[in-house]
Structure 1
Amino acid sequence: MPHKHRSKSWATLKQAGNECFRTGQYGDATALYSQAIKELDKAGKKNTEDLSILYSNRAASYLKDGNCTECVKDCDTSLELAPFNMKSLLRRAAAYEALERYRQAYVDYKTALQIDCTVASAHDGTNRMTKALAEADGPSWREKLPPIPTVPLSVREKFAQRAADGAAQPNAAQPNAAPQQNGIKQTSKPAPSDKDVKKAQALKEEGNSLVKKGEHKKAIDKYSQSLKLNPNEATTYTNRALCHLSVKQYRDAVKDCAEALRMDSSNVKALYRRAQAHRELKDVKACVDDLNSLLSVEPKNVAALKLLQEVQKKK
């Protein structure tokens, strides 16, 4: 590699860093990303998005090298430059987890899920952190968490749009991806518009009123209409699951709870209602598994303890 890095553009240095990252030369990648950051800073233009990506890529190299403290620092800088950058959130969460800073890791994993509820690594991370925190802090572990930021709808829409049109930035993991081929797979449904969210909320509330009157079949229709407009609302799924249980549509209840749990793996209502449905379907093992997951989140949940006792008696 020629020594005249000075004359190289930051984009060329970044590309060379991506190449080193891809071939497992993480130390070299870190050095190249550092030079790219210097060159971009020298250019004087406040190109915040490009700079954010460079810091995020360097964080990935630090993470691979086991330098978690530097990884966190770079992710902090990257997120200051471009708030809610998904890759920086996931890299920082992994670094926090390695440093046993489980509360911070939990917050980052949950924030990532607000941006895209289909990210498997964020679900798995949330599950691991939930278990670790319940063991460390006991039943009141949630009270000790730092606040989880609310991701603005505009950020979720931008992310979904990028995923849909394939215009996401290539990153260290996909160094040669051209923008049109893109780096992020379309896994999430596009975010609903504010108008649809409001309509969906109104339909959900109509469903809630029908449930109070005991009109579960009509409520199911309202919840279904609501979910067509906004499929990203976990409580609508758990509410519809309750109605499915009431009208003995147990398999549908299981499906609805699974959707809610895909968005929030520690959703207590979804775990409890799915356990109830599994009991009715005579699937004792699945019922017990769900109750045990629930009790790892809320060890003193009376309803879950009672149901667990009942199903274990029948074994």
Structure 2
Amino acid sequence: MAASPSDLRRAGNEEFRRGQYGPAAELYTRALELLEATGEAAAEERSVLLANRAACRLKDGACSLCVADCNSALDLVPFGIKPLLRRAAAYEALERYPQAYVDYKTVLQVDCSVQAAHDGVNRMTKALLEKDGVNWRQKLPPIPTVPISAQTRWSAPSAGAPGANAPPATAPQREPDKAAANTERARTLKEEGNELVKKGNHKKAVEKYSESLKLNQECATYTNRALCYLALKQYKEAVEDCTEALRLDPKNVKALYRRAQALKELKDYKSSIADIKSLLKTEPKNTAALKLLQELNRA
């Protein structure tokens, strides 16, 4: 007897519990394909599956894919708390702080008691203040107004109970949410590493980033650790970290630039030039990359 979408979802939840995020994502994908093949509308069920798959993407550091899944989930069921929170976390990892801020604030319109959203708003406020100064609010995208109906209806049911109307805090099954504690701890460790980099303590920062990566493989953490390895003249390690970052985000500018720097020091000029040219396809006016390319052409 063929597995139903519900069977596949439950199997995906079990894989997620075991930390098998890739297999879990595949099961959620199969469930989605089955719903489409049978022509079932099931907007809420599809939204839940997409939000669960987004949690897998987030845990694996595939933040752009996480954003895409959350967008699809929110198209089906607007103002769902789980896809909003996961998209916010992905934006934060991608250092797209204005978008993350908007999502965290939107969650608080739906339910002002969500602590993760309060914490996110605080982190984003600090990051945006550092980045854009006192006028940071003027550069924000518009924050959507959540209709009253969405404030009284829980639009992202639990993975284990599609259609349930209980708030996420009391939902009977929360498998993908078990990653939240690890993700939060990983983010804290990354921020501690960032502070150490500002103080010039690259060796200690590497330790913090390494601890963070054990909990959550995130592109920005790899590129941050690569920066430390460059400062410590550990060029092979820097190349490895940038390669991992590019596996998660193939067009990441920082990863391409830092790998090019490391490859230059390793005298692999051909590969270094290739990375810079890839970077310039995304940012053709990147002055640091153009300068490095000039240096490489003279090497």
Paired letter, 2:125: T
Does 2:163 match 1:170? no
Does 2:124 match 1:124? no
Q: Structure 1 residue 115: deviation in Å?
A: 0.5
Alignment of 1:223-242 (within 5 A): none
In the alignment, which residue of structure 2 is the partner of 1:184? 168
- Aligned-residue CA RMSD in angstroms? 2.3
Q: Which has the higher contact order (CA 8 A, sep 6+)?
A: 2
Does 2:77 match 1:82? yes
- CA distance, structure 1, for counterparts of residue 43 and residue 126 of structure 2: 37
Q: 3-state DSSP class of the match of 2:153?
A: helix
Alignment of 1:70-109 (within 5 A): 70-109=65-104
Q: Structure 1 residue 179: deviation in Å?
A: 7.7
Q: Does the C-alpha gap of structure 1 residues 105 and 178 become closer, same or farther in structure 2, counting only changes over 3 Å?
A: closer
Paired letter, 1:33: Y
Based on CA coordinates, which of the two structures has the bigger radius of gyration? Answer: 1
Q: Deviations over 1:221-269 (max 9, x none)?
A: xxxxxxxxxxxxxxxxxxxxxxxxxxxxxxxxxxxxxxxxxxxxxxxxx
Q: 3-state DSSP class of the match of 2:89?
A: helix
In the alignment, which residue of structure 2 is the partner of 1:11? 6
In the alignment, which residue of structure 1 is the partner of 2:22? 27
Stretches of structure 2 lacking an aligned partner (at least 5 in a row)? 172-299
The size of the alignment, in residue pairs, is 171
The 8 Å contact of residues 54 and 70 in structure 2, kept in 1 or not, is answered as: yes
- CA distance, structure 1, for counterparts of residue 118 and residue 147 of structure 2: 20
Q: Deviations over 1:275-296 (max 9, x none)?
A: xxxxxxxxxxxxxxxxxxxxxx
Paired letter, 1:109: Y
Q: Identify which of 27, 33, 37 aligns with 1:38.
A: 33
Q: Structure 1 residue 24: deviation in Å?
A: 0.8
Q: Deviations over 1:157-213 (max 9, x none)?
A: 123xx9xxxxx7322xxx4x69889672369xxxxxxxxxxxxxxxxxxxxxxxxxx
Stretches of structure 1 lacking an aligned partner (at least 5 in a row)? 163-167, 188-315
The 8 Å contact of residues 45 and 163 in structure 2, kept in 1 or not, is answered as: no
The 8 Å contact of residues 15 and 23 in structure 2, kept in 1 or not, is answered as: yes
Q: 3-state DSSP class of the match of 2:169?
A: coil
**Post-superposition, which runs of at least 4 consecutive aligned residues in structure 1 deviate over 6 A?**
177-181
- CA distance, structure 2, for counterparts of residue 29 and residue 86 of structure 1: 21
- CA distance, structure 2, for counterparts of residue 183 and residue 123 of structure 1: 17
Q: Structure 1 residue 8: deviation in Å?
A: 1.6
- Percent sequence identity is 55
